[in-house]
């Protein structure tokens, strides 16, 4: 038998074995059963080194005006078995066409994985992740990812490059839009909810996606807030503040991880063996595969930790990075590196095994076309239920920042409304960053949402007034005219959809262009004015905040933006969102976050003249809007905070009354200060919350329990343990307005 024939026979045997696998015997997401393991072993024995390198290679497709387009060179590589996965390839026909190449034209017939950035929805686009986080509604966040997975798998996809779980304390960094904000504990809860939503119980279900926790690690802490920037921090900070959300993804069973572009302490993540192998695999027990970020192996030459791409590939694979996104370095160099004994076959086999295991878990060997179902594509995308949910998601993500004299909700007897501002009728901006397969033409703008909310007797006027980001004031007059004839004015102001996201760092984060001037002009007319803010990051809107206007933070709401915002503006939904990132007064305060430390010379507002204390000369230490902040159309009163220690736990009870005149939901937040630690502790740390509906006039009694595990923290040996002593328990409506009680736990 020739070698070629031998390979063919082995390949056929393997395919038969795979097809015959009793998948019901799988141990689920967490493992591969012994039968499948043997089959993967057999397949590995038949693969050439080039085919192995191919399995570790991920390439992307582009899109032309006429439709999807994959470079012919890539097509050739697929047929040679030199591609393991593709991204930016979706829709059933296109996925089927390329999968067919892998299944019918390659020697080993190993199916491809199809990945995509399903970041906040697939076709039905939900609010940006930072906005969703402000809902503090884990079930809703999970459900939005469930729908995203439903839609994406109906269009041929099986892998999402999400969730992004990078903790971020610097709003200059544009990618804060993609994360959950500044808090580690809340970020971990959200990370787990998102993995559960994408993957379901079993990502082999056919309508669930394999998730990818990114960007490992600490991508959210670039110096100066400049994207891709250097990260340098103590090991303690890394463990305490940045790593837990990634770990939460592992605990939730995430199938893959993505490396980050940045270096940490001089080592680019993609070459960091300690991160990718020691911590992720050995300490945390992660069993899936690791993919690079886009060409991050090649970029090591720029980082300067190597002279050439070949050596960068050596560093990455030896660090435990299994798949190369778009850089082609594994394909180009692994065969040589192996021959030169710079990379062992065992290392390569291990990486290939992890990729093949993912394919087994996705059910691709069983049926490579299982995600290519035309009926599903027609029936399970942008359904009325999905759109209704998206509308709800917009409303629960809104945060009411200011509401003087109860300007909002818009009075029922309103006769005419003027909507003014560059974001009022711009469908394209509603999707925000990472528009994925979202179709901007299908977005509902604010003006459209308002028009469909009011009856025919109410006039709704619209004028743009100005652009988001230039100095053109020629639209001011027309804007003034419609404001003049309306009873109520809504200003739609903010950033455009592309001012946040990747490669969108900014040093000035006030409203861009002449929008503040427009607002000041309109306010002079003396009408009731509400601002709907559209933005992908906290903004330093001190100037706008000085005006007597209501301000509703709406983020970028996605497909149903205008409808969901209108629900809040008209009071159909009482806003209950709370900020998960601090809004600074100005950029000089950055980084600013709620869980800072006291310092040896803390500033005391009661002694505001003190000089040698930790303060600014020209600005207060306090932010414009703190973490956890958000108003409602009703009010809540907190009382009777009781703590008691029982069985080594702290039980906390508090009463929250709805003291206003509408039903409303409140996010009741629990913070802790550990008074004395061998390692100094933050002034406040979020340790729990409950989102509750409290009817007008009603008082609810809420209970929380804190265990020693909840109060444990990292020590210089990077071990986490509890230190007995005094704790101050704070409960309140945001991180600053709280009631508190001291308690001792030994
Ligand atoms: C981003 C990733 C993304 C990848 C693929 C990169 O530039 O950093 O978050 O998943 O591109 O689109």
Are 414 and 551 members of one domain?
yes
Given ligand 1 and candidates 293, 295, 433, 500, which is best to mutate, with the most ligand atoms within 8 Å of its CB? 293
pLDDT at position 31 is: 66
Contacts 24+ apart (CB under 8 A), 616-620: 616/588, 616/589, 618/588, 619/585, 619/586, 619/588, 619/589, 620/585
Whether 117 is in the pocket of ligand 1, judged by its Cβ within 6 Å, is: yes
In a domain, residue 448? The reply is yes
- Domain end point (choices 569, 604, 628): 569
Q: Whose CA is nearest to atom 11 of ligand 1?
A: 294
Are 555 and 648 members of one domain?
no
pLDDT at position 206 is: 93
pLDDT at position 436 is: 84
Q: Whose CA is nearest to atom 6 of ligand 1?
A: 294
In a domain, residue 6? The reply is no
Could you list the active site residues?
293
- Domain end point (choices 569, 585, 603): 569
- Domain end point (choices 569, 603, 627): 569
Are 555 and 664 members of one domain?
no
Are 641 and 557 members of one domain?
no
164 Cβ contact partners less than 8 Å away, ≥ 6 residues apart: 119, 129, 175, 178, 179, 214, 215
Are 541 and 399 members of one domain?
yes
In a domain, residue 640? The reply is yes
461 Cβ contact partners less than 8 Å away, ≥ 6 residues apart: 416, 417, 418, 419, 482, 485, 486
pLDDT at position 1 is: 35
In a domain, residue 127? The reply is no
Whether 59 is in the pocket of ligand 1, judged by its Cβ within 6 Å, is: no
Are 544 and 652 members of one domain?
no
Average pLDDT (522-526) is 98
Q: Whose CA is nearest to atom 10 of ligand 1?
A: 161
Given ligand 1 and candidates 502, 504, 505, which is best to mutate, with the most ligand atoms within 8 Å of its CB? 502
Residue closest to 310 by CA, chosen among 335, 292, 291: 335
535-560 pLDDT, tens digit per residue, is 999 999 999 999 999 999 999 999 99
Whether 322 is in the pocket of ligand 1, judged by its Cβ within 6 Å, is: no
- The CATH number covering residue 394 comes to 3.40.50.1700
pLDDT at position 7 is: 39
Residue closest to 401 by CA, chosen among 540, 290, 509, 503: 540
Are 512 and 645 members of one domain?
no
79-98 pLDDT, tens digit per residue, is 999 999 999 999 999 999 99
Q: Is the pLDDT score of 697 beyond 90?
A: yes
Helix (H, G, I), strand (E, B) or coil at 183: coil
Are 642 and 560 members of one domain?
no
Q: Whose CA is nearest to atom 7 of ligand 1?
A: 294
Whether 293 is in the pocket of ligand 1, judged by its Cβ within 6 Å, is: yes
Are 556 and 640 members of one domain?
no
In a domain, residue 5? The reply is no
Distance from Cα 399 to the centre of ligand 1, integer Å: 28
Q: Output the average pLDDT for the chain.
A: 95
Q: How many domains does the chain have?
A: 2
Are 658 and 520 members of one domain?
no
**Residue 692 structural domain:** 636-745
Are 549 and 690 members of one domain?
no
223-242 pLDDT, tens digit per residue, is 999 999 999 999 999 999 99
Distance from Cα 217 to the centre of ligand 1, integer Å: 14
In a domain, residue 332? The reply is no
In a domain, residue 698? The reply is yes
Q: Is the pLDDT score of 4 beyond 90?
A: no
Distance from Cα 380 to the centre of ligand 1, integer Å: 26
Are 553 and 683 members of one domain?
no
Residue 117 backbone phi and psi in degrees, to 5: -85, 80
- The CATH number covering residue 676 comes to 2.60.40.10
Distance from Cα 549 to the centre of ligand 1, integer Å: 38
Distance from Cα 294 to the centre of ligand 1, integer Å: 6
pLDDT at position 123 is: 98
Distance from Cα 293 to the centre of ligand 1, integer Å: 6
pLDDT band for 202, please (50, 70, 90 cuts).
confident
Q: Is the pLDDT score of 361 beyond 80?
A: yes
In a domain, residue 37? The reply is no
pLDDT at position 65 is: 75
Ligand 1 atom at minimal distance to the Cα of residue 215: 9
Average pLDDT (317-346) is 98
């Amino acid at each position: 038998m020739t070698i070629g024939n031998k390979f063919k026979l082995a390949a056929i045997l393997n395919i038969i074995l795979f097809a015959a696998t009793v998948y019901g015997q799988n141990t689920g997401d967490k493992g591969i059963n012994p039968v499948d393991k043997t089959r993967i072993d057999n397949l590995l024995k038949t693969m050439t080194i080039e085919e192995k390198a191919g399995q570790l290679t991920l390439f992307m497709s582009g899109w032309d005006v006429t439709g999807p387009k994959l470079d012919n060179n890539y097509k050739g590589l697929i047929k040679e078995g030199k591609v393991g996965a593709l991204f930016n390839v979706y829709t059933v026909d296109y996925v089927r066409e390329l999968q067919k190449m892998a299944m019918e034209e390659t020697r080993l017939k190993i199916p491809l994985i199809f990945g995509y950035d399903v970041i906040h929805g697939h076709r039905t686009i939900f609010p940006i992740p930072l906005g969703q986080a402000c809902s503090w509604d884990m079930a809703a966040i999970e459900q939005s990812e469930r729908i995203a997975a439903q839609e994406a798998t109906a269009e041929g996809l099986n892998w999402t490059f999400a969730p992004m779980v990078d903790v971020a304390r610097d709003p200059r960094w544009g990618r804060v839009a993609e994360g959950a904000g500044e808090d580690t504990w809340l970020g971990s809860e959200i990370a787990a909810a998102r993995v559960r939503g994408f993957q379901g119980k079993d990502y082999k279900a056919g309508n669930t996606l394999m998730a990818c926790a990114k960007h490992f690690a600490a991508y959210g802490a670039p110096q100066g807030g400049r994207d891709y920037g250097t990260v340098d921090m103590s090991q303690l900070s890394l463990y305490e503040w940045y790593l837990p959300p990634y770990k939460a993804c592992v605990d939730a069973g995430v199938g893959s991880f993505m490396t980050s572009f940045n270096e940490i302490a001089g080592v680019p993540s993609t070459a960091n063996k300690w991160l990718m192998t020691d911590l992720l695999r050995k300490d945390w027990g992660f069993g899936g595969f690791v993919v690079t970020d886009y060409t991050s192996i090649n970029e090591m030459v720029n980082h300067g930790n190597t002279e050439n791409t070949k050596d960068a590939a050596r560093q990455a694979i030896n660090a435990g990075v299994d798949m190369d996104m778009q850089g082609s370095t594994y394909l180009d160099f692994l065969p040589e590196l192996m021959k030169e004994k710079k990379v062992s076959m065992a290392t390569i086999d291990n990486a290939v095994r992890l990729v093949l295991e993912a394919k087994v878990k996705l059910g691709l060997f069983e049926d490579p076309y299982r995600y290519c179902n035309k009926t599903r594509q027609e029936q399970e995308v942008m359904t009325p239920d999905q759109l209704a949910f998206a509308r709800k998601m917009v409303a629960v993500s809104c945060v009411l920042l200011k509401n003087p004299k109860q300007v909002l909700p818009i009075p029922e007897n309103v006769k005419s409304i003027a909507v003014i501002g560059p974001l009022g009728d711009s469908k394209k901006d509603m999707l925000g960053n990472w528009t994925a397969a979202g179709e901007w033409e299908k977005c509902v703008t604010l003006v459209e949402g308002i028009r469909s909310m009011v009856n025919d007797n109410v006039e709704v006027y619209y004028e743009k007034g100005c652009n988001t980001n230039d100095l053109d004031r020629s639209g001011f007059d027309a804007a003034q005219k419609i404001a003049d004839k309306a009873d109520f004015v809504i200003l739609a102001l903010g950033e455009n959809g592309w001012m946040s996201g990747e490669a969108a760092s900014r040093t000035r984060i006030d409203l861009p262009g002449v929008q503040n001037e427009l607002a000041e002009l309109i306010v002079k007319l003396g009408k009731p004015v509400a601002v709907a803010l559209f933005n992908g990051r906290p903004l330093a809107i001190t100037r706008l905040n000085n005006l007597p206007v209501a301000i509703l933070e709406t983020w970028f709401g996605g497909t149903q933006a205008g409808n969901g915002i209108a629900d809040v503006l008209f009071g159909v939904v009482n806003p209950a969102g709370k900020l998960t990132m601090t809004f600074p007064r100005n950029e000089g305060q950055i980084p600013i976050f709620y869980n800072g430390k006291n310092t040896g010379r803390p500033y005391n507002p009661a002694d505001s003249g003190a000089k040698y204390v930790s303060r600014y000369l020209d600005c207060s230490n306090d932010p414009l809007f703190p973490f956890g902040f958000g108003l409602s159309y009703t009010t809540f009163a907190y009382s009777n905070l009781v703590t008691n220690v029982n069985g080594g736990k702290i039980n906390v009870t508090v009463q929250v009354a709805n003291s206003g005149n509408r039903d409303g939901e409140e996010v009741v937040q629990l913070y802790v200060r550990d008074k004395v630690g061998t390692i100094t502790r933050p002034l406040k740390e979020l340790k729990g919350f409950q989102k509750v509906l409290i009817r007008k006039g009603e008082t609810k009694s809420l209970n929380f329990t804190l265990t020693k595990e909840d109060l444990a923290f990292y020590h210089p040996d990077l071990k986490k343990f509890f230190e007995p002593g005094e704790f101050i328990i704070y409960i309140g409506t945001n991180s600053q307005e709280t009631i508190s009680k001291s308690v001792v736990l030994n």
